[in-house]
Structure 1
Amino acid sequence: MPKVSIIIPAYNAMTYLPETVESVLRQTFTDFEVLIVDDGSSDQIVQWVSELEDPRVKLISQENQGVSLARNTGIAYAQGEYVAFLDADDLWTPTKLEKQVICLDQNPSVGLVHTWMALIDCKGKSNGRVMTSNAEGNTWQQLLEKNMVACSSVMVRRCCLQNVGGFEPHLNFAEDWDMWIRISAHYHFAVIKEALYYYRQVPNSLSKNIRVLEQAFLFVIEKAFHSVPPKLLYLKKHSYGYANLCLAWKALQSSCRDYKLARYYRQKAISYYPHLRYSHENIRLSVAIIALQLFGNDSYSKLLELAYALRRQILSFPNLDSINSFKIIDKTTQ
């Protein structure tokens, strides 16, 4: 039996999937299986996997059912003691699995270990930013407020997944947040404070995704607070505040960059949780909204590129082709 099962849901993902799988095959820890769950794709994924020479990579095909059920299928087939999740367009640094396996082996009370993440664009170019998290130990109350755990950074004991159940079948957004809340109610978390994976930011259609994401947040929050102790119910407004702040950023990061919608969600966030007005994230968001409104989409894009270039230079951020030596300790807050 392999020590680790890696689950990669894939739906028409061949644009990035080969690079993603290559980052897995370069791991310094090698006792793993890779379960690629083809969720009804119409691309060349079956042929591509059949031509791979590494027997650790396996393809599971199913009709299109969404990312949650694809991950659940992978969990059902998984043989490893530990399970790691990886989206089909993200990348891992070579020591990710090794460091997480050591963490779980040496800390039997920990059910899940995650890492920090670095951001790249659709072409694999970094913007110099690392998203950090201090969610460790008893994280349940922290996770009630907001999701602080990135899905492609996670390694979890398979027994934890068996005990809490699978991903919510009808959720294709925020399904990981719901899962981490359920796991954190029973198990301690650990975090490796290094950026051991790259999250690829791919602009999506605003109209298609943001309303669905909003409904997913609503479902997760209402479900999470359904049975919390009365003394913690005040956190519900905090949770809605952080969720709306996230939606505001999504409006700016979409292909059409709707600053009016971003401003709407920003105001909702502050109305739920007034303390957010003074947060670092809200200040950044407010500056971004003003810049987009004043300069327009094209000039705003150029300003972002300049800001990213300066940040990469200041942090001496490596290029994607130097992933083998990638290690960043950056105190940028999420």
Structure 2
Amino acid sequence: MYRFSIVIPAHNGAQFLHLAIGAALQQTRLADEVLLIDDASTDATVEIAKSYESKLKYHFHQEATGFVDAWNRAIELASGDFVTILHQDDLLHPEYLEHIEKALRRFPSIKHFYSACNYIDEHGAIIKGPPEPYSLEPVFYSGKEYARNYLNGVVTNNHIHRCPGVTTQRNLLLAECTYRKEAGHIADDDFFLRVGAFTDVVGISQPLASFRHHGHSVTGQRGLLTLELARDYVFQVLFHKGNKTLLDDEDITQVQLQAVKFINLLLFQSLLYKQQEWTQKAFGLRDELDKMLPSFMEKNLPLWARKMWGMTSAKSKKNRTAAFYVAVLNAIIKSRDYVKALLKHEFTSNK
């Protein structure tokens, strides 16, 4: 008989916390414990936790130390054989644990399970679904296959799963493959690309979880996110360059191209929003990447981006010519998106 823990790390997440807790408590296969790990919230999180006092275990941390520390703290506090991390604004569908347990019974040697998930907005409406086809049939993947599939989903923005909808053996999380704080905002992706070195993986393509996009989520704050992602992918380049991993050379090139993408986007946004500090950081990250991979970024930039970099100085406070160039590019992009939206509306409305 396996024991399952659902852990909910929270930091000032009162807006959707009731829904996350409800999803954890209303599983058709009840969790053996539900833990709420509060990373020094100052909103109504404490009051919400108290309203569920008899149904969950509440732990308050006096100092906010970030979401990765909160994940690892939650795993340490859990007592189940398997742990499911549920973010404060995400959902598990009622049958999630039931199907994970069935998969575990069928594949008892596997230590990492996932289901696909939907993307929902702040009202719970589905924005986007996972890759089709959907099936409740659990599928076995070697660790290497899983890592490659997951990376391909990241690169194409068509993830096979996200953080909600993942269940992992607690001992593996504690002793073999931990979440790394140095991986930054993509500590989850970093973990999913490494865990296959310690276990094969079983996945369910039917969405049994929901990942919420909203204005207050970190993933909803695009300007701030770009700087973090640029840093984080430079870290990934360094890691995969210095260590033997599950990824082959072609896969590692995709990771390197992600670093190029976000460093370039950082410069673009720095000029668009007149953030000189971001401009300096973009040049600094480009220098870091060039030290590891000489000329790689230059070779993989589109022509418009090469012109943008050529017009920009890390030392200048204004970069007027480059800023004007980026403003024009942004206007063109918005116009194309508007035309696409109009055409899509006209096409669908005439069906």
Letter matched to residue 55 of structure 1: K
Q: Structure 1 residues 301 and 46 mapped into 2: Cα distance closer, same or farther (>3 Å)?
A: farther
Provide the residue aligned with 1:50 in structure 2: 50
- Say whether the 8 Å CA contact 2:230–2:266 is kept in structure 1: no
- Say if 2:155 is the partner of 1:143: no
User: Counterparts in 2 of 1:272-287, with a 5 A limit?
Assistant: none
Shift of 1:41: 1.1
Provide the residue aligned with 2:15 in structure 1: 15
| C-alpha separation in 2, matches of 1:94 and 1:236 | 37
| C-alpha separation in 1, matches of 2:246 and 2:92 | 41
Query: What are the superposed Cα offsets for residues 73-103 of structure 1, whole Å, 9 maximum, x if unpaired?
Result: 0011010011001111111111011101221
Q: Which has the larger radius of gyration?
A: 2
User: Counterparts in 2 of 1:258-273, with a 5 A limit?
Assistant: none
| C-alpha separation in 1, matches of 2:55 and 2:79 | 15
| C-alpha separation in 1, matches of 2:177 and 2:240 | 15
| C-alpha separation in 2, matches of 1:93 and 1:305 | 31
| C-alpha separation in 2, matches of 1:250 and 1:152 | 28
Shift of 1:171: 3.8
3-state SS of 2:13 partner: coil
Count residues with an aligned counterpart.
285
- Say whether the 8 Å CA contact 2:116–2:207 is kept in structure 1: yes
Letter matched to residue 211 of structure 2: Y
| C-alpha separation in 1, matches of 2:38 and 2:343 | 35
| C-alpha separation in 2, matches of 1:95 and 1:221 | 38
- Say whether the 8 Å CA contact 2:90–2:164 is kept in structure 1: yes
Provide the residue aligned with 2:322 in structure 1: none
User: Counterparts in 2 of 1:38-117, with a 5 A limit?
Assistant: 38-117=38-117
Provide the residue aligned with 1:155 in structure 2: 167
| C-alpha separation in 1, matches of 2:144 and 2:301 | 19
Q: Structure 1 residues 70 and 306 mapped into 2: Cα distance closer, same or farther (>3 Å)?
A: farther
Provide the residue aligned with 1:240 in structure 2: 256
Shift of 1:184: 0.7
Query: What are the superposed Cα offsets for residues 176-199 of structure 1, whole Å, 9 maximum, x if unpaired?
Result: 122122221110011011011111
| C-alpha separation in 1, matches of 2:343 and 2:39 | 35
- Say if 2:198 is the partner of 1:186: yes
Q: Name which structure has the greater RCO, CA cutoff 8 Å, separation 6+.
A: 1
CA RMSD of aligned residues (A): 4.2
Shift of 1:126: 1.5
3-state SS of 2:124 partner: coil
- Say whether the 8 Å CA contact 1:37–1:62 is kept in structure 2: no
Provide the residue aligned with 2:335 in structure 1: 294
- Say whether the 8 Å CA contact 2:24–2:31 is kept in structure 1: no
Query: What are the superposed Cα offsets for residues 277-298 of structure 1, whole Å, 9 maximum, x if unpaired?
Result: xxxxxxxxxxxx99852167xx
3-state SS of 1:152 partner: coil
Q: Structure 1 residues 303 and 45 mapped into 2: Cα distance closer, same or farther (>3 Å)?
A: farther
Shift of 1:153: 1.4
- Say whether the 8 Å CA contact 2:37–2:60 is kept in structure 1: yes
| C-alpha separation in 2, matches of 1:25 and 1:131 | 28
User: Counterparts in 2 of 1:174-253, with a 5 A limit?
Assistant: 174-203=186-215, 204-228=220-244, 232-241=248-257
TM-score, normalization by structure 2 = 0.68
3-state SS of 2:101 partner: helix
TM-score, normalization by structure 1 = 0.71
| C-alpha separation in 2, matches of 1:101 and 1:94 | 13
3-state SS of 1:65 partner: coil
Query: What are the superposed Cα offsets for residues 256-309 of structure 1, whole Å, 9 maximum, x if unpaired?
Result: 99xxxxxxxxxx9996599xxxxxxxxxxxxxx99852167xx589769959xx
- Say if 2:134 is the partner of 1:130: no
| C-alpha separation in 2, matches of 1:82 and 1:300 | 48
Give unmatched runs, 5+ long, in structure 1: 258-267, 275-288, 315-334
Percentage of matched positions with identical amino acids: 21
Provide the residue aligned with 1:319 in structure 2: none
Letter matched to residue 25 of structure 2: L
Q: Answer with 236-245 or 48-57: which moved more.
A: 236-245
- Say whether the 8 Å CA contact 1:241–1:271 is kept in structure 2: no
Letter matched to residue 180 of structure 1: F
Give unmatched runs, 5+ long, in structure 2: 274-295, 303-329
Letter matched to residue 160 of structure 1: L
- Say whether the 8 Å CA contact 1:8–1:36 is kept in structure 2: yes
